[in-house]
Amino acid sequence: MATLKQKEQITGWLFVAPFLVSLTLFFLYAAGRTLFFSFTDFDLFKAPAFVGFGNYLRLLSDQLFLTALTNSLSFAVLVTISQTFLALLLAIQVNRAVKGRGVVRTIFYLPSIMSSAAMTLIFLWLFQREGLMTQLVQFVVNNRWYLLVFVGVWVATQLALVLNARRKYEGVSFGDPFFLVFGLFLALLVSFGLSLARVLPVYEEQFLISWLNTQAKFLFMPQTLWSVALMNIFTTVPTLMLLFLAGLQTVPTSLYEAAEIDGANGFQRFRDITIPALAPVTFAVVTLGIIGTLQMFDQVAILGDAAPLQSRITLAFYIYANAFPEGAASRIGMSSAAAVILGVLTLIVVYLQRAFGVKDTVN
């Protein structure tokens, strides 16, 4: 007769069994076979021929693989850092709003719901050489004086009003909404008035910016991938924002109140209470971010001919392009070797970010 503990164990295993079966089949077996194929020369039809480390050496001398590797790494670093910061900022904003928090949260979350393919197609249209994004940049550059005046007047009015109020009252924040709206109207009035009087110069430059369809590199990454990064951040920040939001709501308000009594200002409260309390969530967000960005594939595939290959290729797409080359025999050996390298790379990066201080326990 099985003891209660044994019965519980058996029940536990039974519950986990379906997941274990699919894990074994689709992951362990598949990973094992990929590792095996990475040491062979296989084209899906003739028997695999053992070539030892030949595939790995060929990969290291393949220019396209090295390009894909640098692209993937730079993309991962840029997007993970940006989306973590932005998600945290957004979460703090949404957490603060008392009225209409649900509506704000929903609106901010919308980009994440849309399918990746649909978003890519829309961005393809937005990012045309003479598309909306270029026109936006054109507008900003051509009307830069008026925009400067607008921002300057707004900031100046806000500062003036807040400092003035602080002489008489306590606890007036720099972002006071009433003053903000008043400042906005004043700034609009001033800028429009000046533009009607044609006081400042407005330029007529025509821009042709190739956001996607270009071989140019900007800093360490192809320009195309900067545009794809923009789109990626736009669609993944909302999901990560939700994670941070959940984390923020578990921080006890008593900690904040105690800190306020002790004289800590907003920034100090943020740095010494919020951030440490969010450590486990940050760990999750950064890890998910690294894994997701290193394996980015769908946007590259959908872009297709809209951008040159070396400007958009990532490791995941390199693996796919070698497994199913257009009109040529499959190079399963190279593809598997690249897949093994991608897997090992992901593991290394996740362990590194853990070692460098993103802890997964609350201090």
Partner 1 sequence: MTNSLKLLLAGASALAMTAAAQAETVRIAGWGGAEVAIVNGLLTDVLAEDLKAADIQVTYEPVDGDFSQFIINGLSAGTAPDLFYTDIFWSRSVFAPGQADPVPGDTSAFAPNLVEAFTYDGKVLALPKDFNTLALFYNKDIFDDAGVEYPTDSETWTSLQDKLVAVHTALPDVQGFCVVPDYARFATFALSTGWEPFNAEGKTVLDDNFKRAFAQYTGMIDAGAAVAAADTGQGWTGGCLVNEISAVAIEGAWMLGGIKDSAPNMNYGVTRLPKDETSGQSGNLIFTVGWAVNANSAVKDSAHKLAELLTSEKAQQWVLEQGLALPSRSSLAETDWMKGDAPEQITNRTVFAGLEDGNVEPFFFGDLGGAWMEPINTAINSVILGEADVDTAIATAQARFDELQAN
Return residues touching partner 1 (CB under 8 A).
Answer: 43-46, 63, 125, 128-130, 210, 213-216, 305-306, 308-309, 324-330
Phi then psi for 197, rounded to 5 degrees? -80, 0
Q: Where are the alpha helices (DSSP H) in 197-331?
A: 223-248, 253-261, 266-269, 275-277, 279-294, 298-303, 309-312, 315-323
Smallest gap from Cβ 226 to partner 1, in A, equals 16
CA angle (274, 278, 281) in 5-degree steps: 160
For residues 343 and 312, give the distance between their C-alpha atoms in angstroms, rounded to a whole number. 20
List the beta bridge partners of residue 43: none
The radius of gyration computed from the CA coordinates of the chain, to the nearest angstrom, equals: 27
Smallest gap from Cβ 206 to partner 1, in A, equals 13
Smallest gap from Cβ 345 to partner 1, in A, equals 25
**Closer of 216 and 355 to partner 1 (Cβ):** 216
**Closer of 63 and 253 to partner 1 (Cβ):** 63
Smallest gap from Cβ 331 to partner 1, in A, equals 11
Smallest gap from Cβ 129 to partner 1, in A, equals 5
Smallest gap from Cβ 322 to partner 1, in A, equals 10
Smallest gap from Cβ 142 to partner 1, in A, equals 20
**Closer of 137 and 362 to partner 1 (Cβ):** 137
Smallest gap from Cβ 222 to partner 1, in A, equals 12
What angle separates helix 63-96 from helix 279-294, to the nearest 10 degrees? 150
Q: Give Cα 136 distance to the centre of its chain.
A: 22
Question: What is the residue whose two structure tokens read 């001398």?
Answer: 61
**Closer of 134 and 191 to partner 1 (Cβ):** 134
All residues at 6 or more sequence positions from 68 whose CB lies less than 8 Å from its CB, including other chains: 313, 314, 315, 317, 318
C-alpha distances out from residue 275 to 191, 286, 287, Å: 40, 14, 17
Q: Where are the alpha helices (DSSP H) in the chain?
A: 4-23, 30-37, 54-60, 63-96, 101-113, 116-126, 132-142, 144-168, 177-196, 223-248, 253-261, 266-269, 275-277, 279-294, 298-303, 309-312, 315-323, 332-355
**Closer of 56 and 320 to partner 1 (Cβ):** 320
C-alpha distances out from residue 100 to 68, 105, 107, 180, Å: 44, 9, 11, 19
Smallest gap from Cβ 123 to partner 1, in A, equals 13
Contact 340, 38 (CB under 8 A): yes
For 107, other C-beta atoms within 10 Å of its C-beta total: 12
**Closer of 186 and 301 to partner 1 (Cβ):** 301
